[in-house]
Amino acid sequence: MQKRFISLWFRHLTTDWLTLRRPELKDLPFVFAAPIHNRIIITAANSLAQEQGIFNGMAAADAKAIVPDLKIIDEIPGQSFKLLKALGEWCIRYSPLIAIDMPDGLIMDISGCPHLWGGERNYLKEIVTRLRSKGYDVRGAIADTAGAAWAVARFGKVKPIIEPGAQASALLLLPPVALRLEPLILERLQKLGFYKIKDFMNIGRSVLRRRFGEGFLLRLNQALGNEDEPLQLLQPVEAYSERLPCLEAIRTAIGIEIAIKTLLEQLCKRLHGEGKGIRTAILKGYRVDGHVIQATIGTNSPSNNVNHLFKLFELKISSLEPALGIELFTLDAPKVEDVEPGQEILWSPEDCSLEDTGLAQLLDRLANKIGAANIHRYLPQEHHWPERSFKPAISLKEKPTTAWRTDRPRPSLLLNRPEPVEVTFLVPDYPPALFIYQNKIHHVKKADGPERIEREWWLEEGEHRDYYQVEDEKGQRYWLFRLGHYEGGRPKQWFIHGFFA
């Protein structure tokens, strides 16, 4: 899936917060300052102060000289982290994957989220307006990579949303500082006359590496999307996986059974608490000789029943070869779904319906041994063409949308492919008087038909079929058809397609 990131930049994070706490500061220029190297240095300035030429890193005394009524407030250490954490937790309503981007931003992985707010434009607008209405001066940008979003949020002048794959062209006109580089490298770039990213984007990577080091290339690649950027998530998603290291290498089937049971019990306990069930699970065994063996199971419906899941793994144990022994077992559940708690049944029903858990467990066992592709259930389909009159159902719970038709006779057995038969019949369209199928002559005593079934021209080309239901002298009933209209001297026109009950 295409990854998308949003970068939020709180331009005046701490000063906005203080303005919210102390509304009387709203119309005053004020700054936060902290002692650095025996000098009082400004660490954050509000927008009014910035308008008058005060910037971060300026000595407080100089600032006071420019703006005599400047209010200087001692910085609260760790305040911006606390604020960003709170803001990030608030933003979880927009996306579950949120990382703090010190000192004044948030990065959110929004892949698959914006459509819930009606597209990326509305999504970004919603976030920014909500935060602004709370009093935080925020800028945001969306791009394929966290680095590009970061750059556009802070330095972009054209548009905040960069289309998928367009991050390289969006970065061209931005200054090198947009790449989150270290001050030393920035200074060197400045000295060499690289004022825009486009100046060095196309220079050979080996040259850049020699001049500016590995860190520079990493940042460039991260912004362009050539390299993944790991995010430290605010609320990391805990994977459904369990580990079981063994003191001694396991070599027997019984040992593997115990390991699977232990792992399943641990995992199912957690799943049970969260109301989830396993759809697929992978058991991996790390062998002494360095190989990894694995077994995969799948279920039709989410399950956190240890016994049932163990039975599924039991079928696979014979395929696990421990060789010299297995040191470590891991059990991962990559696909987990909400389990529908079954209602306790007061009276056990006499018959189990399609929704029954017993049936689902049986099908799981069958599917894990012979493959889920070999289990079918059919639903009616609105087609006259016999081969297309039914379709495989997607799930056990899928209900037929149309009724099964009974108005026309249909044979009990249908040949996979119609087989040609030799036929004697009265032209042009009488039913056959006799036909030869598999070297046996059948004299037709009774017949019914024809039932003409046209080929669906929008699906395939070809001739129609005229179906006849015939009964021979022994009472055996067949379904024959003639392909197309009768034409003299054309062989292979008659076919047998099925047997009636």
Partner 1 sequence: MLDTRKDIISRLQKDILLWQGFTPPPSGKPKDLGLGPIEAAFPNGVFPTGNIHEMMCTTPEQAAATGGMMAGLIAILMRRGGTCIWISTSRKLFPPSLKAFNVEPDRIIFIDVAKEKDALWAMEEALKCEGLAAVVAEIKEISFAQSRRLQLAVEGSKVTGFILRNDPRKPGINTCVARWQVNPLPSKIEDGLPGIGYPCWQIDLLRVRNGNPGRWELEWIDGCFVPVEKEEEPIYHLHERKAG
Q: What are the residues binding partner 1 (CB under 8 A)?
A: 349-354, 356, 358-359, 361-363, 365-366, 369-370, 374-380, 386, 389-390, 393, 396, 399-400, 404-406, 409-416, 445-448, 469-471, 473-477, 498-501
DSSP codes of every residue in 219-265 = HHHHHHTSS-----BSSPPPPSEEEEEEEEEE-SHHHHHHHHHHHHH
Minimum Å gap between C-beta 360 and partner 1 is 10
189, amino acid identity: L
Minimum Å gap between C-beta 296 and partner 1 is 19
Give phi and psi for 447, each to the nearest 5. -150, 155
Strand order in the sheet with 97-101: 97-101, 105-109, 5-10, 138-143
Minimum Å gap between C-beta 297 and partner 1 is 15
Residue 49 tokens read as 């102060």
Minimum Å gap between C-beta 407 and partner 1 is 10
Q: How many CB atoms lie within 10 A of CB 472?
A: 19
Minimum Å gap between C-beta 293 and partner 1 is 24
| Closer residue to partner 1, CB minimum distance, 3 or 365 | 365
Minimum Å gap between C-beta 318 and partner 1 is 13
Minimum Å gap between C-beta 397 and partner 1 is 11
| Closer residue to partner 1, CB minimum distance, 195 or 430 | 430
Torsion angle of C-alpha atoms 227, 231, 237, 243, degrees rounded to 10: 70
Minimum Å gap between C-beta 249 and partner 1 is 32
| Closer residue to partner 1, CB minimum distance, 156 or 411 | 411
Residues 176 and 219: beta-carbon distance below 8 Å: no
- C-alpha R_g of the chain: 36
Minimum Å gap between C-beta 379 and partner 1 is 5
| Closer residue to partner 1, CB minimum distance, 393 or 434 | 393
DSSP codes of every residue in 433-466 = EEEEETTEEEEEEEEEEEEEE---TTT-----EE
Torsion angle of C-alpha atoms 394, 397, 398, 401, degrees rounded to 10: 160
| Closer residue to partner 1, CB minimum distance, 351 or 487 | 351
| Closer residue to partner 1, CB minimum distance, 376 or 492 | 376
d(CA 287, CA 250) in angstroms, rounded, equals: 9
User: Directed axis angle between helix 306-317 and helix 253-274, to 10°?
Assistant: 150
DSSP codes of every residue in 156-207 = --S-SBPPTT-HHHHHTTS-GGGG---HHHHHHHHHHT--STHHHHTS-HHH
| Closer residue to partner 1, CB minimum distance, 56 or 412 | 412
- What's the 3-state SS for 268-318? HHHHHHHCEEEEEEEEEEEECCCCEEEEEEEEEEEECCHHHHHHHHHHHHC
Minimum Å gap between C-beta 289 and partner 1 is 33
| Closer residue to partner 1, CB minimum distance, 246 or 414 | 414
Sign of CA dihedral 184, 188, 190, 191: positive
| Closer residue to partner 1, CB minimum distance, 58 or 363 | 363
| Closer residue to partner 1, CB minimum distance, 230 or 475 | 475
What's the angle, vertex CA 181, arms to CA 175 and CA 185, rounded to 5? 90
